[in-house]
Amino acid sequence: MPARGATTARRLLGWLMNPWAKARFLWVIALAYMLWTLLPVAIAVGFSFNAGKSQTAWQGFSVSRWYLDDVSSVWQDDSLRTALIQSLKLSTLTVLIAVPIGVAFGLAIDRWRGRVSRSANMVMLFSFITPEIAVAVALFLYFSQLATVIGLGLKAQVLGLSMYEIAYPVIIVQARLLSIGKEYEEAAMDLGASPMQALRRVLLPLLMPAIVASVGIVFATSIDNFVISQRLSIGASTQTVPILIYSTARTAPLPSLNALATITLFASTIMIAVAGLALRSASRRDRGGAAATAKIGLPVAGG
């Protein structure tokens, strides 16, 4: 018994002295981080199903009161419904503009080598290192003082967000091009395809996971954008969900505001999930294709 106790003590001492040997504490840190970030969101989502009007006391569960039934619900309240429609419209139009331009820009930078292309790449990445408030103020001054034909409002919000969001598809497409390599295009042209046919029938299908991922990320970041959308807004007709939440959070908001935020949260989460699944599926196909190519002794694309 004393020997067994000494062995147990040594094992416990070794566990305490080397907690990282088998990642014993890593899962604790990961779980604490997830709780710290997701618990407030989960509480807010939970109160969107509260049967009462309180934001602090649980008064029963209701599935549809703050979504459909109540006069102050998302569906019945004109201001909430207008903000939701405006957010969906703004994010959709931003995707339709930013993603095609970003994909084309990424292809151009990858194919276009030289000092000018590096400068263009730096200008594109400039939005990542510039504070968003500075970008928003610059856009506000531009549309209110110079581009007065456009002016403030939905058009300015779409153009401003599209400019800001272009960097995401450019980076994603560049990463995908790096993994694909140029072998597929070269093989297609060796078989008689023109450069445009190789781009349209070979490269773009291979880029489709990156394009889908770009759509998801641009949509999610656009629907949650506050700074640029708020600076370029001209009133209630161009208020998005983040603007409405900010303007009413200091008063006594009803759980319908949580319901509105929950809808946008689910929409952005679904888009991000679709983007992640697309990239994961593409990486699996790439690994499978590389393994099959290696078996027959051919050079692996991108390798």
Residue 216: burial class (beta carbons within 10 Å; 0-12, 13-18, 19+): buried
Q: Is the pLDDT of residue 303 over 50?
A: no
Does residue 9 belong to any structural domain of this protein?
no
Does residue 99 belong to any structural domain of this protein?
yes
Q: How many CA atoms lie within 13 A of 155 on its CB side?
A: 9
Does residue 253 belong to any structural domain of this protein?
yes
Residue 271: burial class (beta carbons within 10 Å; 0-12, 13-18, 19+): buried
Does residue 16 belong to any structural domain of this protein?
no
How many structural domains are present in the chain? 1
Nearest-Å Rg of the Cα atoms of the chain is 26
pLDDT in tens, 224-265: 899 999 999 988 888 999 999 888 877 778 888 899 999 998
Phi, psi of 61 (to 5 degrees): -100, 130
Q: Which of 31-35, 251-255, 281-285 has the lowest mean pLDDT?
A: 281-285
**Parent domain of 192:** 78-295
Does residue 54 belong to any structural domain of this protein?
no
Does residue 11 belong to any structural domain of this protein?
no
Does residue 55 belong to any structural domain of this protein?
no
Q: What is the pTM of this model?
A: 0.79
pLDDT in tens, 127-149: 777 888 898 999 999 999 888 89
Does residue 25 belong to any structural domain of this protein?
no
CATH code of 157's domain: 1.10.3720.10
Residue tagged 């319901």 (tokens) = 259
